[in-house]
Structure 1
Amino acid sequence: MSRILIVDDEPDIITLISRYAKRDGYDIATAEDGRQAIEACQKEDFDLIVMDVMMPDTDGFTACKKIKEFKDIPVIMLSARGTEFDKLFGFEVGVDDYVTKPFSPMELMARIKAILGCRRTSTPDKDNGIINIGGLEIDTFGLTVTADDEKSELTAKEFALLMLFVNNRGAVLSRDKILNEVWGYDSFGIDRTVDWQIKLLRNKLGSYRDCIKAVRGVGYKFEI
């Protein structure tokens, strides 16, 4: 049974998410702010965190960044602030997905299922977990990519995105296909999710960043 930590300073939000999550078979723990979330993750293991941005003591972005320093736990961020800057900043600190309030509980459950499903199916079957392609070395066990002798850690979404490109070299992938394959759902209202994640992934590919090419009006393709 997957264990989810729900972090929000609004009791009604915690109650709402908990009810839907329990109905879908998840084990639930809760915290009221970012500080409590960090402490909970230091003591216990969770498969996923659903966390609000604006909270007293320690905000969600700060908590996410600190938690990612010692545990690789996917984070879905909730926020009433839906600007492009807020969403992009969230992805930069390690957020795996971003849901704007008010939100649909059913949509949130779909995103939770997609992220947990992605982590279960991304386990490599190669003996050493290393894939060498061109000048890139991808460690599928450690979720890292080495480019120009510089190793970078990948988030679960960045890893899934890179592997999708690697497995479809030369093929043009539409944004809708990428959303469906990596996030597990068709567009749910974050129009630039793919573009943001590709920008962050490119930043970790060094001189190979241009291997991910934009195809105007269609999507992206990977050539190396």
Structure 2
Amino acid sequence: MRILLVDDDIELANMLSDYIQSQDFEVHCAHDGEQGLEQALNGQFDLVLLDVMLPKIDGFEVLKQLRTHSVVPVIMLTAKGDDFDRIFGLELGADDYIPKPFNHRELIARIKAITRRIEHINNSQPRAELDFSGLCIQMHSRCATANGQPLHLTGTEFAILHLLMSEPGAIISKEQISEQVLGRRLAPFDRSIDMHVSNLRKKVSEHIEQERVRTVRGAGYVLVGDSH
């Protein structure tokens, strides 16, 4: 797995790169937003670790521009306790975030969770397909459509939609989504799942007028059809 680390703290980036590579990942570093965006767009990386505070172009602008061309998984490196950075990053299409300073083992756990998700998709049967009330996903090509129109989903959004479509009509809890999609237990006051589902809803609603992903207060989310 090839990882791009974008962080302007050269000493920290080198230390982090050495640690990640010791876990059998290949790591390349960029130290400003322009360089990071250029490298992230070349299609050679499986995951991007993206700091928020960067020279030339900040991490948010890098992510915004990246998402117009690529769905490569992105983990944002945010300031500890800064909820705005976390929420804004998720709104722009980040797959996950981890606050600085962080435990290196936790970062590796987040990276491996995304790795497992990618492997699951790549190992799916070529014709594995799910259809439900105008929604369709094909696992092998990681394509999703709504009423025949393509949905440009991030890896996390695609995985959430797949989980919901695997059990239409069943309530899927936030805890289930966090553990099965993000690969970690849901922490108190963690709004990441809410933001991912909100982004998914917006993209689906561009092509399907009726509500498809319904919130069940205090319980989770359920995929519904026209008759519900």
- The verdict on a shared fold, with TM-score over 0.5 as the criterion, is yes
CA distance in 2, matches of 1:154, 1:43: 19
CA positional deviation for 1:34? 1.0
Q: Is the CA contact (8 Å cut-off) linking 2:126 and 2:141 kept in structure 1?
A: no
Hey, what does 1:181 align to over in structure 2? 180
CA distance in 2, matches of 1:48, 1:54: 19
Residues 133-174 of structure 1, C-alpha deviations (whole Å, 9 max, x = no match): 112233445544333554321110000000000112222222
Residues 12-71 of structure 1, C-alpha deviations (whole Å, 9 max, x = no match): 321332132112111111111111112223556111111101111111111122233334
Greater Cα shift, 130-139 or 176-185: 130-139
Residues 36-185 of structure 1 aligned to structure 2 (within 5 Å): 36-43=35-42, 45-80=44-79, 82-123=81-122, 124-127=124-127, 131-148=130-147, 150-185=149-184
Hey, what does 2:218 align to over in structure 1? 217
Q: What letter is aligned with 2:211?
A: D
CA distance in 1, matches of 2:87, 2:23: 30
Structure 1 gap segments, 5+ residues each = none
CA positional deviation for 1:190? 6.4
Greater Cα shift, 28-37 or 91-100: 91-100
CA distance in 2, matches of 1:62, 1:81: 20
**TM-score normalised by structure 2 residue count:** 0.86
CA positional deviation for 1:111? 0.5
Describe the SS at the equivalent of 2:198.
helix
CA distance in 2, matches of 1:191, 1:43: 32
CA distance in 2, matches of 1:188, 1:109: 18
Describe the SS at the equivalent of 1:58.
coil
Residues 55-97 of structure 1, C-alpha deviations (whole Å, 9 max, x = no match): 1111111112223333432111111164443323212322111
Q: Is the CA contact (8 Å cut-off) linking 2:79 and 2:99 kept in structure 1?
A: yes
CA distance in 2, matches of 1:92, 1:173: 21
Residues 183-221 of structure 1, C-alpha deviations (whole Å, 9 max, x = no match): 111125661111111111111111466322222222222
**TM-score normalised by structure 1 residue count:** 0.88
CA distance in 2, matches of 1:208, 1:191: 29
Structure 2 gap segments, 5+ residues each = none
Change (3 A) 1:223 1:47: same
Describe the SS at the equivalent of 1:70.
coil
CA distance in 2, matches of 1:154, 1:76: 16
